[in-house]
Chain A
Amino acid sequence: EVQLLESGGGLVQPGGSLRLSCAASGFTFNNFAMNWVRQAPGKGLEWVSGISGSGANTYYADSVKGRFTISRDKSKTTLYLQMSGLRVDDTAVYYCAKDRFSGSFSPFDQWGQGTLVTVSS
């Protein structure tokens, strides 16, 4: 059974930093790209960042480019999102999501339960 367990959320002041983790199990971690998707309070889903199975390629939404860094650890089968320069509008539930297929052109078939990040003074 695929499991994705996010952690690391919490309350942080504007301009601060936070690192989210997503512990993955139940599938061959290196074979699949992984993603972070967020949902701000009362808003819709927003794709934040993605990383290829090898970790060689990373992608970002314009809203977080230059502030967030996605990475993955093969030995720990864990996905990370390092967030810096946090803004109030980064407040959201952050989900990690697994690609359905290896390679390109894939939707997300497995999601974690999410971790809440609140940016407030």
Chain B
Amino acid sequence: DIQMTQSPSTLSASVGDRVTITCRASQNINIWLAWYQHKPGKAPNLLIYKASTLESGVPSRFSGSGSGTEHTLTISNLQPEDFATYYCQQYNNYPWTFGQGTKVEI
């Protein structure tokens, strides 16, 4: 199985900050990586797919990059509604696997 390792596990930031989350895969997943935002009590929300494609309706302050085993999610100009937990997910090989999550907090 492909292991997905996110860093950091927790990130303290302020409104207006630029933050970066890293996701490393244990093997090559090409560009088959997605990023989700998850808030307590709500359904996860797809932000980015195919490593860098912004999902429709997602603000442009979210961006993704990477290929192979190294991927990043960047949030520019952090907004109050962005405080949440973020997960990467590979869909290159079954079983699909998620990173352990990165909690972005104030």
A-side interface residues toward B, CB under 8 Å?
Answer: 35, 37, 44-47, 50, 59-62, 95, 97, 100, 105-109, 111-114
Contact = CB atoms under 8 A, between A and B. Distances in A.
A113 B91 contact: no
Interface of B: 1, 32, 34, 36, 38, 42-46, 49, 55, 85, 87, 89, 91-92, 94-101
A50 B55 contact: no
B45 to A, nearest CB: 8
A108 B46 contact: yes
Main secondary structure of the interface of A (DSSP, over half): strand
A59 B94 contact: yes
Given A50-B96, A61-B95, A105-B92, A44 B101 contact: yes
Contacts of B101: 44-45
A114 B38 CA distance: 13
23 contacts: A44-B85, A44-B98, A45-B38, A45-B44, A45-B89, A45-B101, A47-B89, A47-B96, A47-B98, A59-B94, A59-B95, A60-B95, A97-B44, A100-B49, A105-B91, A106-B49, A107-B46, A107-B49, A107-B89, A108-B46, A108-B89, A111-B44, A111-B45
Given A108-B36, A109-B46, A111-B44, 8 more contacts: A44-B85, A44-B99, A45-B38, A47-B95, A47-B98, A61-B95, A107-B34, A108-B46
Contacts of B38: 45
A106 B91 contact: yes
B44 A107 contact: no
A46 B98 contact: yes
Nearest to A100: B49
B46 A100 contact: yes
